């Protein structure tokens, strides 16, 4: 429960402990001069809230967290909180070394966030002891709930996750590496170490275009996932999520075959397309979110056109 001075208490319905449904990672809107655009961002967030996501993850990976200045970050999270109006939890991105991560946590608190998605401390490898020091120190510095993010060179052992799961405000673990063997061992270790009555640790699939791997993640006990496609095609993202929930394998396979697999192949054509192609498609869907910031670059127009054609094909298949 967020009770820190300067923030609003989090309603029980908005606690990150109660995350459910498809998770929305909005792109961050910039104007023609490359400045953060609160109006365009709020419009994008409000439009997607109407489609019923389980939570908003503001200023995270899809939202270009590393490209935001600290004051922009706080305004971005504050804008998402205002747009959500306590209807769903708002989770702010957080990252870098321990000292900076604490600053971002304080900014998220001031903005009224309900929790933090903690990106890895890049360019620092202190082993498992270093990870324990970093995340426990961050958790001790804030009342916000934390979701830890395993990706790139930051890899947790099952024993480290078990220890971190004992920290009261570490509530979730997100995997962006795709090592299902390791992830199953983490899920199993946390499950068998849990004392009856203790809150369960939430597990998330954080792979790019998570729909491609979610059937496998779901099978090993990872029910939650984020959908970048929800930014620009909520109908397709929700159709897939609903089919997965109902066990409708035919629709799942149709959407993988007709859209998600060719979309991933398209995404692999250029570095940075996991964000820049999503943002371009969001613009094409009618949202004034602007271009990506350096070091990302805009996608080739023909690749955007190819993506829009894939969307038409997927909708025809669903119809």
- Place 19 in a pLDDT band, splitting at 50, 70 and 90: confident
* Residue 52 lies inside a defined structural domain of this protein: yes
Query: pLDDT tens across 291-319, in order?
Result: 999 999 999 999 999 999 999 999 999 99
* Residue 163 lies inside a defined structural domain of this protein: yes
Whole-number pLDDT of residue 13? 43
* Residue 117 lies inside a defined structural domain of this protein: yes
Catalytic residue among 41, 174, 225, 279: 174
- Place 123 in a pLDDT band, splitting at 50, 70 and 90: low
Instruction: For residue 176, give Cα distances in angstroms to 108, 170, 182, 280.
Output: 23, 18, 12, 23
Helix (H) / strand (E) element for 92: namely strand 90-94
pLDDT at 12 over 70: no
DSSP letter assigned to residue 115: E
Query: pLDDT tens across 157-195, in order?
Result: 999 999 999 999 999 999 999 999 999 999 999 999 998
Active site residue 174: yes
- Strand order of the β-sheet with 115-118 is 23-24, 55-58, 90-94, 115-118, 145-150, 170-175, 202-205, 224-225
Whole-number pLDDT of residue 122? 74
Query: pLDDT tens across 213-243, in order?
Result: 999 999 999 999 999 999 999 999 999 999 9
Whole-number pLDDT of residue 15? 57
Whole-number pLDDT of residue 2? 39
DSSP letter assigned to residue 256: I
Whole-number pLDDT of residue 153? 87
Whole-number pLDDT of residue 7? 37
Catalytic residue among 73, 96, 135, 149: 149
Helix (H) / strand (E) element for 38: namely helix 38-49
Domain count, the chain: 1
The residue-averaged pLDDT of 269-283 equals 97
* Residue 62 lies inside a defined structural domain of this protein: yes
* Residue 187 lies inside a defined structural domain of this protein: yes
| Domain that includes residue 125, residue range | 12-233
Mean pLDDT of the chain: 93
The residue-averaged pLDDT of 120-144 equals 91
The closest of 271, 258, 244, 289 to 47, measured between CA atoms, is 289
pLDDT over 70, % of the chain: 94
Active site residue 149: yes
Whole-number pLDDT of residue 20? 82
Whole-number pLDDT of residue 5? 35
* Residue 271 lies inside a defined structural domain of this protein: no
* Residue 282 lies inside a defined structural domain of this protein: no
* Residue 160 lies inside a defined structural domain of this protein: yes
CATH of the domain at 100: 3.20.20.70
The three-class DSSP label of residue 82 is helix
pLDDT over 90, % of the chain: 89
């Amino acid at each position: 429960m967020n009770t820190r001075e300067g923030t609003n208490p989090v309603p029980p319905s908005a606690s990150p402990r109660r995350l459910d449904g498809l998770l929305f990672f909005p792109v961050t809107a910039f104007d023609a001069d490359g400045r953060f655009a609160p109006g365009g961002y709020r419009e994008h967030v409000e439009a997607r809230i109407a489609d019923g996501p389980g939570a908003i993850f503001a200023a995270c990976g899809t939202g270009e967290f590393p490209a935001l200045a600290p004051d922009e970050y706080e305004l971005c999270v504050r804008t998402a909180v205002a747009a959500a109006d306590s209807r769903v939890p708002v989770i702010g991105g957080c990252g870098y070394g321990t000292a900076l991560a604490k600053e971002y946590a304080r900014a998220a608190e001031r903005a009224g966030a309900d929790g933090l998605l903690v990106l890895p401390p890049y360019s620092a490898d202190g082993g498992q002891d270093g990870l324990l020091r970093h995340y426990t120190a961050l958790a001790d510095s804030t009342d916000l709930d934390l979701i830890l993010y395993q990706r790139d060179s930051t890899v947790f052992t099952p024993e480290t996750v078990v220890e971190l799961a004992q920290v009261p405000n570490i509530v979730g673990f997100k995997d962006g590496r795709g090592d299902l063997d390791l992830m199953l061992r983490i899920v199993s270790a946390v499950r068998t170490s849990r004392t009856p009555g203790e809150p369960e640790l939430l597990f998330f699939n954080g792979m790019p275009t998570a729909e491609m791997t979610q059937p496998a993640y779901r099978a090993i006990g990872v029910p939650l996932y984020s959908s970048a496609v929800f930014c620009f095609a909520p109908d397709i993202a929700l159709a897939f999520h609903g089919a997965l929930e109902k066990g409708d394998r035919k629709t799942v396979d149709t959407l993988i075959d007709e859209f998600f697999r060719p979309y991933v192949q398209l995404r692999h054509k250029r570095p940075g397309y996991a964000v820049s192609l999503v943002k371009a498609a969001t613009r094409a869907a009618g949202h004034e979110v602007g271009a990506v910031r350096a070091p990302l670059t805009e996608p080739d127009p023909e690749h955007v056109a190819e993506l829009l054609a894939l969307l038409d094909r997927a909708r025809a298949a669903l119809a």
